[in-house]
Amino acid sequence: MPYQPYLFFGGNCREAFTRYHEVFGGDLTLLTASDMPEEERPPGDTGDLIMHAALVGDGGDLLMGSDDPTTDSFGPVQGMKVSFATPDVDEAKRVFAALADGATVDMEPAATSWSPYFGLLSDRFGTPWMIGADAPDQAG
């Protein structure tokens, strides 16, 4: 059974997913409140809020999210990180550098016992990330 992260944003989901699309590529779908049938729309002036974002990667990976119309205040995400791992160290470096623009770097990328390249950051949208390169096959 696959698990997919579903991220909530405080009004900047479109901006975040547009950036994730630039970084990761794939196919991006954005559904606004005004795209929904009127009887399914959240109350209030929410027409431009994203009710569902889906970024499908070339390998079929799925990242989803939406704006949260139920709150006026939105704090940082806590208690989780979105993990991105790739077999290519250069790709991990590219992704980390792209997400680090305007981010808080929690752990500078470095070689670890489990990865030749691993780092932690919270991007400019408040999404916490673990970026790493897969360790070479130890079995030989």
pLDDT tens digit string along 89-129? 999 999 999 999 999 999 999 999 999 999 999 999 999 99
Q: Does domain 82-133 have CATH number 3.30.720.110?
A: yes
* Residue 25 falls in which region: left (phi positive, over 0), alpha (psi -120 to 50) or beta: left
Report d(CA 133, CA 1) in Å as an integer: 24
The CATH classification of domain 6-67, taken from the options 3.40.50.300, 3.10.180.10, 3.90.1300.10, 3.10.129.10: 3.10.180.10
Amino acid of residue 74: F
Model pTM above 0.85: yes
When pLDDT is averaged across residues 21-45 and rounded to a whole number, the result is 89
Q: Is residue 89 a contact partner of residue 26, using CB atoms and an 8 Å limit?
A: no
Copy the structure tokens of residue 92. Answer: 């991990």
| pLDDT value for 75 | 77
